[in-house]
Amino acid sequence: MTTRRELLLLAGTGLVLTAAGCRETGARAATTAPDVLLADSERGLLRLGPGGEQNLGAAAAGYDGTHLYAGVPGGVEQLDPASGAKVGHTALAGDWTPRVVAVDGRACALSGTGASDRPAARARTILAVAGPGGERRFDLAGVIEPDAFTADNTGLFVLDWLPATAPDHYRVRLLDLATGKVEPLFTRNKTPVPTGAEEEMRGDGRQAVLSADRKMLFTLYTHQPGHRHTRDLLSGRPGNAHAFVHVLHLVERWAYCLDLPHPFGEGPPAGHALAADGRTLFVADLNAGKLAYASPESLSIERVVDVPPVAGSSAALALTADGRILVGAGGVTVVDRVSGKRTGSWELAGPVRGMGLSRDGGRLYTGGTGRVTWLDTATGEKRGELAVPGLTALRHVI
């Protein structure tokens, strides 16, 4: 989730930023970034900042980037993302990969394998949890992948892949960290999901962000042919969602699927993006040129507006404190939040692989092919660029 920032409102002045107005005045090659960034790369998770590059290898950041764990020989270290300094260590025998970090940073789930779109078949899965009480291990039947901690860190939401002999779909379940049992979730009305009514998903989890109050986790899924929600299974409706936002309530432990209207999910998953603040959940489908506004409170779609379509590109969203939505794909389209109208566009060289705003709101960072570029958010001018060999995605700006 991109944090809301404070910066000057340009849309209200009537100033229209165009490609011609996106000058590169002041742009320069840089050896370091002025802010701290977390980025995925072919070399591992990278921490980039004024002090240079820090390769963390096999590591995991929290969903908003505020907490960080890295695997090291003999255990796992907790790091301060802002400084890169070690703030904690848990000894672990064996080779473990950090996978999921608790919202409050007090726990980390690890596995013996890295993340994968389609995990390998196996009869059993061993997970480890490092936290204030030390290390705990769980020997679980089937193909189990960690997804998110409950708010109180007593439970771990997991993806239970089926069938274990040839995994191709999964259901979201809850591992009780006290008993070691894996059980169904609750429905939105806080009742247990009945036997046979658990949703089984086949799609791609494109992106996940926390709600502003950090109580819910929103995950965007696309390509769900034949998918049936729990509510469809209970009512007997056929169901056939192509895209939806899967909502996990980390406090109340229920799950709900917010369906996205046609044509969301029809195009490639990379063309979709998600962002949220305290008032609205935004979902973009740049294959079709659509931007949906949804209510995190009612979990319903409020409206859908048109944005310029960008076929075959990776999408990203960032939200400014002055009411602008920055839509990234090839370039950056500036959208006024209230009207939903395009108010400008900023040029970029090549595809967008993640975006984020600096803490003071003055810089928009965009990941690209082997580089990170930053623009002035008041003018759209390119202010700097850092070579990052092997970069695959910009994840967070600290």
Q: Is residue 157 in a domain?
A: yes
Number of domains in the chain: 1
Q: Is residue 134 in a domain?
A: yes
Q: Is residue 62 in a domain?
A: no
Q: Is residue 46 in a domain?
A: no
Give yes or no for a contact between 358 and 29, defined as CB atoms under 8 angstroms apart: no
Tokens representing 56? 């963390």
Helix ranges (DSSP H) in 25-178: none
Question: Around Cβ 21, how many Cβ atoms within 10 Å?
Answer: 15
Q: Is residue 320 in a domain?
A: no
- Between CA 67 and CA 64 the distance in angstroms is 8
Tokens representing 186? 């609750």
Q: Is residue 55 in a domain?
A: no
Tokens representing 338? 């209230």
pLDDT band for position 52 (cuts 50, 70, 90): very high
How confident is the model over 178-219, as pLDDT tens digits? 999 999 998 888 788 877 778 888 767 789 999 999 999 999
Question: Around Cβ 111, how many Cβ atoms within 10 Å?
Answer: 19
- Between CA 314 and CA 305 the distance in angstroms is 19
CA–CA distance from 238 to each of 233, 234, 235, 286 (Å)?
A: 8, 11, 9, 28
The amino acid at 278 = G
Query: Using CB atoms within 10 A of its CB, is residue 76 exposed (0-12), middle (13-18) or buried (19+)?
Result: buried
Domain that holds residue 122: 68-183
Q: Is residue 137 in a domain?
A: yes
How confident is the model over 35-47, as pLDDT tens digits? 999 999 999 999 9
pLDDT band for position 28 (cuts 50, 70, 90): low
% of the chain with per-residue pLDDT over 90: 74
Is the confidence at residue 85, as pLDDT, over 80?
Answer: yes
Q: Is residue 31 in a domain?
A: no
Q: What rounded mean pLDDT belongs to the chain? A: 87
Is the confidence at residue 315, as pLDDT, over 70?
Answer: yes
pLDDT band for position 240 (cuts 50, 70, 90): low
- Between CA 283 and CA 246 the distance in angstroms is 12
